[in-house]
Amino acid sequence: MRPLRVVVCATLLLTAPLNSPSQSQLPSTTQPSQLVQQALAALTGGHSITDVTLTGSAHRVAGSDDETGSATLKAVAPGASSQSLSLSSGPRTEILNSAAVPPTGSWSGPDAVVHPVAFHNLLTGPSWFFPAFALAASSSALGATLTYVGHETHNGQAAEHVTVTQSLPASLQATFPLYPHITQLDFFLDSTTFLPAALDFNIHPDSNELVDIPVEIRFTGYTTVSGAQIPFHIQKLINNSLTLDIQIQNASINNGITVAQVTGN
């Protein structure tokens, strides 16, 4: 029997102060929960965010494929997202839903054949392109453990490194001992603004959850939209190679989008 991931479904409503201390003011006993709250306050501006829609241009590189086109990204706070790319080779889609029990996901390429996403690749959450949802959902999930790794230089930028892992109830731990590792997210928060500069996690071959394939999402070009800070430049690296480069042109939040509208179910 597969273990089930339990996620707290909530909108983002934060009132933490926006005037965050600089990294040099961080005490050695800094708690990761404090950094997460600073980051979420900076991302949301203290506003409630229920959903987001991002549109822009996309550049995809995969092996010999090197193509450009447009991208539409949608996510909702309860835990679902969709990625729709319109490229020269045809459309590509990805739908992830951690609000379902158990989590579900699928992807399709230009041939329109729908493929399921392996269960062990659904445990780092659906909203990889929207750091406010990714950080809030992972850090508030039941069984979440937050760890402050420390002050680092990441991609040439001063950052505070926080990891988030999930644990199963004791009765299920023996059935999936890799669960904490497979659910791990590494957030690199800008030491001055506390906005996420990068998000790292692993994906795995469909048939082998023991093999790690590193993924890094890089966020730049933060722009204020309805009081929230949204990255307008999103890059996805797989195995240290840039595979997707998205430049956002339009962003909107709180449009009343539901999980069913995002997932099509």
In a domain, residue 123? The reply is yes
Measured CA to CA, the distance from residue 101 to residue 96 in angstroms comes to 12
pLDDT confidence of residue 7: 37
Partner residues linked to 65 by β-bridges: 62
pLDDT confidence of residue 173: 86
CATH number, domain at 200?
A: 2.50.20.10
pLDDT confidence of residue 5: 38
In a domain, residue 73? The reply is yes
**Model pTM score:** 0.88
What is the mean pLDDT, run by run of 10 residues, along the chain of 265 residues? 38 38 48 95 96 98 94 97 97 96 96 97 96 96 93 96 93 89 97 98 96 98 97 98 98 97 91
Domain count, the chain: 1
In a domain, residue 92? The reply is yes
The residue segments making up the domain with residue 205 are 30-255
pLDDT confidence of residue 26: 54
In a domain, residue 89? The reply is yes
Q: For residue 225, which of 9, 31, 56 has the smallest C-alpha distance?
A: 56
In a domain, residue 12? The reply is no
HSE value, Cβ hemisphere, 13 Å, CA-based, for 119:
11
In a domain, residue 230? The reply is yes
